[in-house]
Structure 1
Amino acid sequence: MAAAPLDRAAASVRLPAPARTGSGRVFYLDAREGDDDAPGTSPGAAWRTLERANAARLRPGDTVLLRRGGRWKGTLRLRADGTRARPLTAGAYGHGPRPTVTGRRGDCVVVSGSHWRVRGLRASDCGWSGFRVQGRHNDLADVYADRNVAGVWVTPRGRHNSVRDSRIVGNDRMSVNDGRPDNDSGAFGVLLNGDDNRVIGNLIAGSYAPSRDYVADGAAVEIYGGDRNVIAHNIARDNETFTELGHRRGDTATGNLFAGNVVTSGRRRGSFLVTRGPGHQVGPVLGTVVVNNSVYLPARRTIGVACSDGCSRRILVMRNNVIKVGGVAAYEDGRGIDDAGGVYAGRIGRFRLGHRSVRRDPRFVGPLDLRVRAGSPAIGGGVRLGPAWYGGLGLAYDLTGRAIPRFGHPDAGAYQHR
């Protein structure tokens, strides 16, 4: 998916410069008119290079701002530690397009410290990842990542971070694409290797690249070795798959939650979710919960959900999802998926519909608008669930912000019709 149109839209966004927090200092970078010998404490006395910013000894409450319209080659390293009460901030100031960090020699923005708020930055065409998050309690919001192997990479050390309200588009490069069988990898929107992270409210599009092993590869959100991550209320378009889960031998990828996401694609092939049991080399992936998602993949070489190599209720639980595909709506082996309240349209492989689940057309409004029309079987077709199913009361709402009913039968899918 071409990133340029979305980038132009993102460039028009202008956020106010972060305010000073207590006695926190503010430092400025200007790629064109800055001077590394300047104090960096005002727009008129800004630093010039990332190296100078990286060398600054930041304290809790400090802020680093990059001038809009500026472009830097290299790595912005956010190494200092803030606190919950006095976080550190990296953001943008001035007018014009987002400040951009680029360059193939390394990852562009590396967050190794804790309690950072990263706002309004773009990481494009980087060595591997646009934003690498390996600290804890960091919040990335309104960032833009494109033309990378991974738009955002949360490493195994990265825990309790959030990636939200951002555009992660056109990350369509492979890191491994060689002649060895079954080892190709790349084109990740968000790659989660860490635990207890949240990916919420993002547009993730165009994670799709040619692959020698698989014809095409890529994922909007790939989880490999991460536990208890929450992926909610994202819009995913034209990715090869929405999510694929696995882990190395001796590791785990347990208890991950996918709630209220909208997944569409106009590509000739693709899938929503791929997970594995104990018979696979990257399994078993235990305790994945998939709730109130809406999926439309019209091409014939598509699959909604695949749970293989020893699928069971310990592997995958699904509630109140609406999945319409031109290929196979769902596949299970072994003892099968724990399913209820779903609406499925497409060829049914080996899959037993659960309680209140039906095989009918959900009657989406359009190929990109996955609200449902009057008379849809999704309306009132779900099973009642408590807030914990969605990741807590703060996430128990649909994609428009409407609360999901806690009594009676809610609608299936990412939108509540009533």
Structure 2
Amino acid sequence: MAVLASLLPAVPEAVPQAVPQAARTKAGTTYYVDSRSGDDAAAGTGARTAWKTLERVNAAELKPGDTIAFRRGSSFTAPLTLSASGTAARPITVKAYGSGALAKISGRAGECVLVKGDHWRVGGLQASGCRWAGFLVAGDHNVLAGVAADHNAAGVHVTASGSHNTIRGSVLTDNNRMSVNDKGGDNDSGAFGVLLNGDDNVVTGNTITGSYAHSKDYGADGAAVEIYNGDRNRVTHNTARDNETFTELGARKGRTATGNIFAFNVVTSSRGRGSFLVTRGPHHAVGPVLGTVAVHNSVYLPARHTIGWSCHDGCSPSILKLRNNVVVVGGESGWEDGKGADEAGSVYVGRSARFKLGPKSVMADPKFVSRTDLRLRPGSPALGRGVPLTASWFGGSEFAKDAAGKPLSATPDAGAYQR
């Protein structure tokens, strides 16, 4: 999948060179891995003495500040197990060196990359065709940046034990396999770009496409970002294309999925069905999902069997708050029951709508530049339509900028892009 590597942001390559022992001790040791010309009996501390297999990496006694550098163009059989822990000041790093496609890890025998430790910075890897997850993150304070995952049931899975992790600047494409797909019941599951079971994680600046698979229960299933039992996660500034759903939220009875934020995401699809956001009230088997916030998202789902957002089985303002979104669908622009969602400052288009428009919200053509470019043309009713919001609506001041990095004005535009 060389195309994935071409979409990832450039990252500095490791340059083998001699360094004084004192400096190497302070910075940590860099270990090199090359599947084509490496040797597990070698020292591993230079490009010419690289290790060959993941088994050798898994057995290494890594310490805070160490680095593992994988040669581009390498190919490995899963798993890569990252069990050691760094520190906030001295994380352990995984990165690429050389030229060509990202090093690829694949194999149905297990998850491809398991991040069990804390304070890792993982980049420069592609996880493809793994048993369940391309990247499984079970530790805390880890960062996946500039990775790729494809043809898994979940591109990235943050488990219930994983918190304060970040997934950013990565390409998650065609994670299109189901883990459960049987007749009857209401239990099919899979095709996740990102699955969040943990708390306080950030998913930002990623490109997530093709999270879509056939389902015997639902016809089709999948989500760019699925949250189940996860609290206070922030999902911002992502580009999502051709997924079944952008996000779906649920919680096992006795658990919560509270306070999750979706901001400045750009969602498009050419599929015949799909949705932006699905959440549940207390009368649903996986509800209630409390305190979901969706602000400044731009959505274009033109097919007939689509829905903008759905808040069902006991919707109320405590379940869902929406501000300053632009939602254009060929089906139902929004659906609520019960007391309804808390909604304002948005622009909608759809064949039908089953919700009450909030303050400043309108049904009108937002005049997107095109089907794939959701910036606003002059004269758009979304210009100046938004209501002013504090940084807490976006999950913090670091996220209070539009999809292109522009700051918000005192009279913001609705949608992910500002003038």
Q: Secondary structure at the match of 1:376?
A: coil
The answer as to whether partners of 1:316 and 1:337 remain within 8 angstroms in 2 is: yes
The answer as to whether partners of 2:128 and 2:149 remain within 8 angstroms in 1 is: yes
Structure 2: which 5+ runs fail to align? 17-23
Indicate whether 1:283 and 2:314 are aligned.
no
- Residues of 2 paired with 1:145 and 1:15: CA distance? 20
The answer as to whether partners of 1:260 and 1:414 remain within 8 angstroms in 2 is: yes
Match of 1:204 in 2: 208
- Equivalent runs, 1:347-358 vs 2, <5 Å: 347-358=351-362
Q: Secondary structure at the match of 1:349?
A: strand
- Equivalent runs, 1:10-409 vs 2, <5 Å: 10=7, 13=10, 15-17=12-14, 22-405=26-409, 407=410, 409=411
The answer as to whether partners of 2:8 and 2:170 remain within 8 angstroms in 1 is: no
Q: Secondary structure at the match of 1:356?
A: coil
How many residues matched? 412
Indicate whether 1:413 and 2:415 are aligned.
yes
Cα shift readout 1:25-81 (whole Å, capped 9, x = no counterpart): 000111011111111111111111101100000110000111110000121111111
Match of 2:19 in 1: none
- Residues of 2 paired with 1:193 and 1:15: CA distance? 32
Deviation at residue 339 of structure 1 after TM alignment: 0.3
Deviation at residue 17 of structure 1 after TM alignment: 2.3
- Residues of 2 paired with 1:63 and 1:301: CA distance? 48
- The residue identity in structure 2 corresponding to 1:156 is A
- The residue identity in structure 1 corresponding to 2:319 is I
Greater CA deviation, 6-15 or 160-169?
6-15
The answer as to whether partners of 1:12 and 1:96 remain within 8 angstroms in 2 is: no
Q: Secondary structure at the match of 2:134?
A: strand
Superposed CA RMSD: 1.4
- Residues of 2 paired with 1:12 and 1:396: CA distance? 22
The answer as to whether partners of 1:21 and 1:62 remain within 8 angstroms in 2 is: no
Deviation at residue 180 of structure 1 after TM alignment: 2.8
Cα shift readout 1:72-126 (whole Å, capped 9, x = no counterpart): 0121111111001101001111111100110000000000100000011100010
- The residue identity in structure 2 corresponding to 1:26 is T
- Residues of 1 paired with 2:89 and 2:112: CA distance? 27
- The residue identity in structure 2 corresponding to 1:93 is Y
- Residues of 2 paired with 1:321 and 1:67: CA distance? 43
Q: Secondary structure at the match of 1:96?
A: coil
The answer as to whether partners of 1:21 and 1:86 remain within 8 angstroms in 2 is: no
TM-score (norm 2): 0.96
The answer as to whether partners of 1:62 and 1:89 remain within 8 angstroms in 2 is: yes
